[in-house]
Amino acid sequence: MRKLFPDAAAALAGLLHDDMTICAGGFGLCGVPERLIDAIEAAGVRGLTVASNNAGIDGVGLGKLLRTRQIAKMISSYVGENKEFERQYLAGELEVEFCPQGTLAERCRAGGAGIPGFYTKTGVGTQVAEGKEHKEFDGEMFILERGIRADLSIIKGWRADEAGNLQFRKTARNFNQPMATAGRVCVAEVEEVVPVGSLDPDAIHLPGIYVKRMIVGAPYDKRIEFRTTRQRENAPAAVGSEI
């Protein structure tokens, strides 16, 4: 099966439709499938439900799909750096399902493993638990969380072989791996594709059985969510400098 496609639009051909659910990898601005998000924006599909740890920042990552009003619902853990997200949510234009970070990762992992739900202590006694089934185990209360299954997973990898066996780099491993397994179809963009046999089998983070289509998305611009600088010792602070 040939998995490598020439570009993001080709890799997503026939997979996109209105009102679909997408699991998107990434952690902050790290490991974000930028080329695939651009292709989804260009396709113009609307009414999307997107499960992602965060929603990027204004005009970057999933922030692009928020800007174009293509996302109807976000299932997220952290959204504090996106002003457009905040505006749409407060105006009632965007449905939001907040989910503790570890619970979100486990919901996607569970969905990918065929587990429809699991019990967790996280969120008990808070708004997160409202409307959810409660059950006591060994004298402690737990709530039921549902696994997440998506129509499509879009992820960003570091290196892959031609069979789709994939490696992530550092922080990008956090959510890309569980998101990949939660989708009925997984499309990956990677920085490099190498021949089969080039990767150490013990160093593969995602087996190729989960990856149906791939593109090479490099080169990428290095984006920094927060830039913090410090004044050099014994040096006078410049007017307007950030310390």
Residue 112: partners with Cβ closer than 8 Å, 6 or more residues away? 178, 180, 181, 182, 210
Query: How far is 138 from 150, CA to CA, in rounded Å?
Result: 33
Per residue in 197-213, pLDDT (tens digit) is 999 999 999 999 999 99
* 185's tokens: 């179809």
Name the band, by pLDDT with cuts 50, 70 and 90, for residue 231.
confident
Number of H helices, E strands in the chain: 6, 13
How many Cβ atoms from other residues are within 10 Å of residue 169's Cβ? Answer: 15
Q: Which residue has the higher pLDDT, 51 or 55?
A: 51
Which numeric CATH code is attached to 8-119+130-216?
Answer: 3.40.1080.10
What's the mean pLDDT in 69-74?
A: 97
Q: Are 79 and 58 in contact (CB under 8 A)?
A: no
Q: What is the pLDDT of residues 132-150, one digit of tens each?
A: 999 999 999 999 999 999 9
Domain boundaries, the chain: 8-119+130-216
Residue 243 pLDDT more than 50? no
Euclidean distance between the first and the last CA atom of the chain, given in angstroms as a whole number: 54
Q: Which residues contact 92 (CB under 8 A, 6 or more apart)?
A: none
